Amino acid sequence: FQSIGYKGILLFGTEEQKQKYLPDLAAGNKFAAFCLTEPSSGSDANTPVKLPDGSTKNKVSAFIVERAFGGVTSGPQEKKMGIKGSNTAEVHFDNVKVPVENLLGVEGEGFKVAMNILNNGRFGIPASCTGSMKYCIQKTVDHVTSRVQFGQTLQEFFNVQEKLTNMVARHYATESIVYLLAANMDRGIQDYQLEAAIGKVAAGSTGADFAAVVDPALSDSAKKLDDCIKQFGKTVENLLIKYKKGIVDRQYELIRVADAAIDIYSMIATLSR
């Protein structure tokens, strides 16, 4: 799972960098990692390091760093609660000398490089989770069809059926989102960063005309989707009018808006499938 490791080279690498690194990465001879988080800074890649003259530079650049350069060490794999398809470990750089030809992208535009890599990498999370979800569903089915309680198997209890139905529905919606986003990426559509985070408000403008083009059998569902999109647009507009720039500090409202956007995008993906 090195989707964000090599993505920077794919997106911003020169032709020489691509020829040098991508073949070995594709063949599995080498593995790429993405380093961004800093101690006590989270993902805020802005820790100032003073130059010999005591000054600092207010810009960040991205580089391709090889372990063979020397001074590069990594710690053990972290034990995480989830996302175990991607290894996470500390990487230490001790006076590493990086050749100028290993600058990735434009000097001073490291933030742009990092954000584009992360936006692309977000797609890998729902894609990898669909397999885990399917495995959990299969294990659940195996259990409820074989476990007997009060003279009947668990699958015959309504509350168990409800939970299993919810699991299947969530998996189907997630898989639909992956298919929709993958199709847009394959078609060369560049404006998918926020869809990858499942929070793009502009999904409303795409989905507003959706009700007119779905299969007649889905017309009722499409009508409900259209109503949700219109209500969502009004809600966002009212929040912006009420709080203006202060909306960025209204965490409760932002969480509710984000949840609504996720649900709407899931509905669009499911109906389009």
Query: Buried (b) or exposed (e) across 148-162, using 16+ Cβ within 10 A?
Result: eeeeeebeeeeebee
CA-wise closest residue to 191 among 257, 116, 128: 116
Q: Whole-angstrom Cα distance, residue 62 to residue 83? A: 25
Q: Give the integer Cα–Cα distance in Å for 179 and 123.
A: 11
- HSE-CB for 256 with a 13 A CA cutoff: 8
DSSP lists the bridge partners of residue 109 as 60
* Percentage of residues in the chain having pLDDT higher than 70: 83
Taking alpha carbons only, the member of 64, 171, 191 closest to residue 119 is 191
Reduced to 3 states, what is the DSSP secondary structure of residue 91? Answer: strand
Give the residue-averaged pLDDT of 102-115. Answer: 90
Summarize the confidence of residues 35-43 as an average pLDDT: 70
Cβ proximity of 62 and 105 under 8 Å: yes
* Per-residue pLDDT at 213: 46
pLDDT number for residue 209: 41
Cβ atoms of 137 and 164 within 8 Å: the answer is yes
Query: Regarding predicted confidence, which is higher, 193 or 16?
Result: 16
Q: What is the mean pLDDT of the chain?
A: 80
> What pLDDT shows up at residue 145?
92
- pLDDT digit string, tens, across residues 130-158: 888 888 889 989 999 999 899 999 999 99
CB 258 within 8 A of CB 199: yes
| Weakest mean pLDDT among 63-72, 119-128, 166-175 | 119-128
CA–CA gap between residue 18 and residue 253 (Å, rounded): 44
First to last CA, the chain: 26
pLDDT value of residue 226: 81
Q: What is the pLDDT of residue 146?
A: 92
Q: Which residue has the higher pLDDT, 100 or 84?
A: 100
CA-to-CA distance for 157 and 198, rounded, in angstroms?
34
Provide the pLDDT for residue 212.
47
Residue 262, pLDDT score: 80
Q: Encode pLDDT of 207-263 as tens digits.
A: 344 444 455 677 788 788 888 888 888 888 888 888 888 888 888 888 888 888 888
Element (H, E) at 50: none
pLDDT band at 122 (very low <50, low <70, confident <90, very high): confident
3-class DSSP state of 88: coil
The three-class DSSP label of residue 260 is: helix
Domains, in order of start, for the chain: 3-108 (2.40.110.10), 124-272 (1.20.140)
pLDDT value of position 200: 31
Neighbour tally for 251: CB within 10 Å: 8
Between 264 and 113, residue with greater pLDDT: 113
* pLDDT score for 204: 31
Kindly list the distances between the CA atom of residue 189 and the CA atoms of 183, 203, 211, in Å, as whole numbers in the listed order. 9, 14, 22
| Contact residues for 216 (Cβ-Cβ < 8 A; gap 6+) | none
Query: Looking at residue 193, what is its pLDDT?
Result: 58
Structure token pair of residue 110: 């490291």
Phi, psi of 107 (to 5 degrees): -60, 130
pLDDT, one tens digit per residue, over 159-214 is 889 888 888 888 888 888 788 777 777 776 666 555 555 433 322 333 344 444 45
Which phi and psi angles does 266 have, rounded to 5°?
-65, -40
pLDDT at 45: 58
pLDDT in the model for residue 189: 64
